[in-house]
Amino acid sequence: MWLPIQINEQSAEPLYFQIEVQLRALIVSGQLSEGTLLPSIRELAQMLKCSVITVRRVYQDLESEGLLRTRQGTGTYVARVEQREMDRHRLEAVIEAIEGAVAAGKLVQCSKEELADLFREALDKHYGV
Amino acid sequence: MSEEAAIRLSHVEQSRPHFQLGPITLEIPKGYVTAIVGPNGSGKSSTFRLLLELSKPDKGEITILGHRLGDGDDTKLKQRIGYLPELFGVHDKSMRGSYKTAFNRRWYPDWDLNRYRELLRVFEVDDSIRLGSMSKGTRRKYELALALAHHPELLLLDEPSSGLDPLAWRTMLDVLHRFMDSGDRTILMASHIVEEVKRLADYIVFMGHGRVLGVYEKDELFSNWHAFYIHSERFTRKDAEAIPGQCVIEETGGGTIRVVTKEAFAAEQWLEKEEVRLAGRQSLNLDDILAVLIEQERLRVRS
């Protein structure tokens, strides 16, 4: 199974963290539904060109958050996610993305006002004025 | 590494007139792919020869899959290992592949003919050809099929992709990933092909001048080692020395300083705190990192 996870090698964010954020988003957004069998650790590592140590860490973290469960011998599945959990996680991913956008703006020395304008423009573009 | 070790070398030394290997103390964890990376003459092949008992250490001890080398009969141990050498001898070049296979399989009780056939099919190798008439790549694929057909627990690969075309290379990576999928097998490979190490390895062992320069978890290594470009009139070479984890500082012209750090995260925070603006950053390649480690070892030996 292919997962839409993108890795940014230039980022200072550790690899496991990048993968964790995206996999969590896929689960809480419902793109991966309850009971979906995820790739084996070695398979996902191969897909993302990272080590099994990183993938194991991601699976373990998400399992302890209750988003995944592992059945001995059969593999790792998407667990049942409560609606309340989903709402909380849902925003987490969005906040993360906005923070990323602000960081990108700061890198090219945007002022606060400039960024606010850009954000408003993007809102208008997608939601209508 | 707290994991169970597939291979353990402790204080291993071998002195030769032109080369001193070790002392090496090293553990290769079970269930993972470990790549030994180093320039020519760094001791990679000598280490492999020791593991295969093609030569003996002057000092120290080697344990493979729980069996100490030199302790009695090791036929059983050898049956659990698969080996792909870097170069092949010329003694068998007039022999057909199938003939060599028939000879080899007698040593392995777990030899699996179906597995062997399947591998030849995947690799598109015809084993009725004489070994000497096979192209370099075909010969390697044949030898890899031979090394895998008895379901070894430990696979030793010396420069596995040497001579393979890009498509055969991808097939090989796929076969090796599948081999590892069961979770309890181990690969130790020597390589200087950067892409191969990136795609396969979980752990990286750097070697140089006959010594181990460092053992790293691959993803951690690449996220920790970065180069920062700083362009500022106020920030000098001297200031850069205080950057956490810095190991190389160079002026790249135009008033820009390039700093290599092995603690990218700490360095970034430090720079932020000092209000030094980054002009750019770059993750480092395996060969960049190797070059820095070799240079540090050279300075250490000299001092």
**Residues in B touching A54 (Cβ below 8 Å):** 219
Count of alpha carbons within 13 Å of B122, Cβ hemisphere only?
19
Please report residues of A whose CB lies closer than 8 A to that of B217.
51, 53
Contact B297, B291 (CB under 8 A): no
B151 with B259, same domain? no
Q: Number of folded domains in chain B? A: 2
Burial label for B32, CB within 10 Å (0-12, 13-18, 19+), is buried
Which chain B residue has its CA at the smallest distance from A39's CA? Answer: B181
Question: Per residue in B42-73, pLDDT tens?
Answer: 899 899 999 999 899 999 999 999 999 988 78
- In-domain check, residue B117: yes
Q: Which of A10, A46, A51 sits opposite B219 (nearest CB)?
A: A51
Statement to judge: residues B244 and B166 lie in one domain: no
Per 3-state DSSP, chain B is made up of helix, strand and coil in percentages (nearest 5) of: 35, 30, 35
Position B61 scores a pLDDT of 95
Residue whose C-alpha is closest to residue B67's, from B11, B153, B8, B4: B8
Confirm whether B169 is domain-assigned: yes
Longest CA–CA separation in chain A, Å? 55
Could you tell me if B29 and B129 lie in one domain? yes
d(CA B237, CA B257): 7
pLDDT in tens, B203-250: 999 999 899 999 999 999 988 999 999 987 788 888 889 999 999 998
Which of A10, A43, A53 shows the shortest C-beta gap to B219? A53
- Exposed / middle / buried, residue B186 (Cβ in 10 Å: 0-12, 13-18, 19+): buried
Are the beta carbons of B23 and B9 closer than 8 angstroms?
no
Q: What are φ and ψ of residue A96, in 5° steps? A: -55, -45
Residue B26 in domain: yes
Which residue in B has a C-alpha nearest to residue A14's C-alpha? Answer: B223
B218/A51 CB distance under 8 A: yes
**Separation between Cα atoms, residue B228 and residue B261, nearest integer Å:** 8
Nearest to A12 among B199, B217, B268 (CB): B268
User: Is B255 within a domain?
Assistant: yes
Are both B258 and B111 inside the same structural domain? no
Return the residue of B nearest to A106 by Cα.
Answer: B277
Asked whether residue B2 carries a pLDDT value surpassing 50, the answer given is no
Dist CA B104 CA B151 (whole Å): 14
Q: Distance between CA atoms of B139 and B132, rounded to whole angstroms? A: 8
- Do B101 and B141 lie in one domain? The reply is yes
Residues 203-222 of B with CB under 8 A from A: 203, 217-220, 222
Which of the listed residues B172, B200, B221 is the one where a domain comes to its end? B221
By residue range, what is the domain housing residue B249?
226-283
Please determine, for the modelled complex, whether the ipTM score is greater than 0.85. no
- Looking at the fold, whether B25 and B133 belong to one and the same domain comes out as yes
Q: Taking CB atoms and an 8 Å limit, are B218 and A50 in contact across chains?
A: yes
Could you tell me if residue B292 is inside a domain?
no
Q: Which of chain B's residues have a Cβ under 8 Å away from the Cβ of A76? A: none
Q: Flag whether B293 is in a domain.
A: no
Whether residue B291 is contained in a domain is answered as no
pLDDT value of residue B3 = 61
Q: Which residues of A touch B (CB under 8 A)?
A: 9-10, 12-16, 40-43, 45-46, 49-54
Q: What's the CA gap between A54 and B56, in Å, rounded?
A: 36
Match 């951690």 to its residue by tokens. B220
- What pLDDT, in 10s, does the model give residues A62-120? 999 989 999 887 889 999 887 777 777 777 778 888 998 999 898 888 999 999 999 99
Nearest by CB to B202, from A13, A40, A51: name it.
A51
**CA B134 – CA B98 distance, rounded (Å):** 13
Within a domain: residue B295? no
B152 and B192, same domain (yes or no): yes
